[in-house]
Amino acid sequence: MNFQNSILLGSALLGSMGISCKTQKKSTDSNQPNVIVILADDAGYADFGFMGSTDLETPNIDRLAQDGVIFTDAHVSATVCAPSRAGLITGRYQQRFGAECNIPPHNLGVDTSEVSIASAMKKQGYHTSVFGKWHLGEQQEYHPNSRGFDEFFGFLEGSRSYFPHEMNDRPGDPHEIQHNGKHVDFNGYLTDVLGEKAIEYVEQQKDNPFFMYLSFNAVHTPMHATKEDLKRYEGHPRQDLAAMTWAMDRAIGKLVNKLKKEKIYNNTLIFFLSDNGGAHNNQSSCLPLKGWKGNKFEGGHRVPFVMSWPKKIKGGQKYHALTSALDIYATAFEIAGGEGSPGKKLDGVNLLPYVTGENVDAPHEKLFWRKEGMAATREGDWKLIRVDGYGYRLYNLDRDLGETKDLQLAEKSQMNSMKMSLENWEEGLMAPLWTEDKNWNRVTFEIHKALMENRKSTIHSPSDLNVAEQK
Ligand SMILES: [Ca+2]
């Protein structure tokens, strides 16, 4: 089935589901750039050439970074997949609407009163699409097509096989690949397929301003790669990750080439980032940061983050002040001609005036994180971590990027001021609408405790808890 046919089929299906999917009018404002948000999954802070990796190859992403701005102190709003994505697509701290924890239950998702970035861009006349992992709710009201995305090709769950899979690909399963609600039988390797679909979409929409959210599940587990890519990295100590990263880079390279071929690359605003820190189980590296996916040390939430728009942003820049994935929404919406917020008050800001030098202040004085009993805040170079039932740590990242020297006694006034500012922020939040599994919460607590004590954690999953209890 070609893409045009599949769009018609999808539209017919959506029509029968009572969902509006009108074709967007061609914009009269030719200056509106296309916007593409490329999200990697569980990629390590250090695992791209432009972030200093010497053993993983990412030539295409590196070129993209070179064409734009690299944010060196950029953060996602959560250290695990679903809440991080909830923040990204709403431009708001996800704890404000109860999406604080991972993996929404079958019947829940991102509160429908939140206006997604796709809905915001549609208001500006954009055609909108998402390719890949969703992870923000499975029911019809939480489905991408109900949240402002004209096109959805991907899967609703948090991870799946990269190859066709008997269980994942059962029609109706939330892991199945679908196109606008309709089951799709795909062939080949999913990272390549998502890249191809993104290119087909560009071909379809190249004459209109479009918004694309390209949400790779790479390099999340399972560690699946093609034979050819694995062969390229034979003997590599991180063979699977290197091969998966190479495939994602290849897909991004092909997409950028398509934009260049169509002569729309210069007026396309592209973001590239990871949804959280490298995971403990996917061979990733967050060095020189401490911690990894799921915890409140920098390795959990500081991510590689690039913004490129050759027409308006000078390439080869590094930007060092605090920035957030929450800023993507405000930036895209304002650059598309939007003013203020299309819904509730955004927590992110438009980054453009900061990277052009028009605004010399920092986009954020403070950033905050919380998932149930574990919370953190940044204020400039200061970092405070709070673990309920255990205590606090205060670090100065300028002198101690690896978060090892606790300054809470030596810097009492800083400690008290940040503690209070975290509590003030929490007053604007609600209780989580769903919570983490109890055992996973204990695992996360034990990891924080070990890292706060500058010990290696011996516990990484609930099965490790059982072993520890038997000792
Ligand atoms: Ca993730």
Tokens of 300: 């959990």
Same domain, 349 and 395: no
Check whether 456 has a pLDDT greater than 60. yes
**Residue positions annotated with a catalytic role:** 81, 135
Closest CA to 180 of 41, 1, 34: 1
Structural domain of 437: 366-470
Interacting residues of 93 by C-beta distance below 8 A, sequence separation 6+: 77, 87, 326, 347, 368, 425, 429
Same domain, 309 and 235: yes
Instruction: Give distance in angstroms: CA of 289 to centre of ligand 1.
Output: 17
pLDDT confidence tier of residue 104, bands split at 50, 70 and 90: confident
Same domain, 338 and 376: no
Same domain, 380 and 349: no
**DSSP state, residue 436:** -
Same domain, 297 and 399: no
Decide: residue 122, CB within 10 A, 0-12 exposed, 13-18 middle, 19+ buried.
Answer: buried
pLDDT for the residue 15: 38
Instruction: Give distance in angstroms: CA of 319 to centre of ligand 1.
Output: 24
Same domain, 237 and 344: yes
Specify the higher pLDDT residue, 12 or 377.
377
Domain of residue 427, CATH code: 3.30.1120.10
Same domain, 251 and 285: yes
pLDDT for the residue 466: 77
pLDDT for the residue 58: 98
pLDDT for the residue 471: 53
Instruction: Give distance in angstroms: CA of 332 to centre of ligand 1.
Output: 22
Instruction: Give distance in angstroms: CA of 438 to centre of ligand 1.
Output: 20
pTM given for the model: 0.93
Q: Above pLDDT 70, what percent of the chain?
A: 93
> Looking at residues 256-281, what average pLDDT do you find?
97
Calculate the dihedral angle through the C-alpha atoms of 422, 427, 429, 430, rounding to the nearest 10 degrees. Answer: 130
pLDDT in tens, 433-445: 999 999 999 999 9
Of the listed ranges 76-80, 100-104, 224-228, 393-397, the least confidently predicted one is 100-104
Instruction: Give distance in angstroms: CA of 87 to centre of ligand 1.
Output: 13
- What rounded mean pLDDT belongs to the chain? 93
Side chain identity at residue 180, one-letter code: N
User: HSE (CB half, 13 Å, CA atoms) of 54?
Assistant: 1
User: HSE (CB half, 13 Å, CA atoms) of 276?
Assistant: 27
pLDDT in tens, 320-330: 999 999 999 99
The answer to whether the beta carbons of residues 315 and 306 sit under 8 Å apart is no
pLDDT confidence tier of residue 18, bands split at 50, 70 and 90: very low
Check whether 4 has a pLDDT greater than 90. no
Same domain, 138 and 45: yes
Same domain, 347 and 370: no
201 assigned to some structural domain = yes
pLDDT in tens, 153-207: 999 999 999 999 999 999 999 999 999 999 999 999 999 999 999 999 999 999 9
Same domain, 283 and 372: no
Domain of residue 141, CATH code: 3.40.720.10
Check whether 23 has a pLDDT greater than 60. no
Closest CA to 137 of 166, 174, 171: 174
> Looking at residues 25-44, what average pLDDT do you find?
82
Tokens of 367: 């950033």
Residue 57 backbone zone (phi > 0: left; psi -120 to 50: alpha; other: beta): beta
Last residue of a domain, one of 336, 355, 374: 355
pLDDT in tens, 78-92: 999 999 999 999 999
Same domain, 98 and 243: yes
How many structural domains are present in the chain? Answer: 2
Calculate the dihedral angle through the C-alpha atoms of 199, 204, 207, 213, rounding to the nearest 10 degrees. Answer: -50
Check whether 3 has a pLDDT greater than 80. no
Closest CA to 180 of 39, 27, 5, 329: 5
Decide: residue 117, CB within 10 A, 0-12 exposed, 13-18 middle, 19+ buried.
Answer: buried
The answer to whether the beta carbons of residues 45 and 286 sit under 8 Å apart is yes
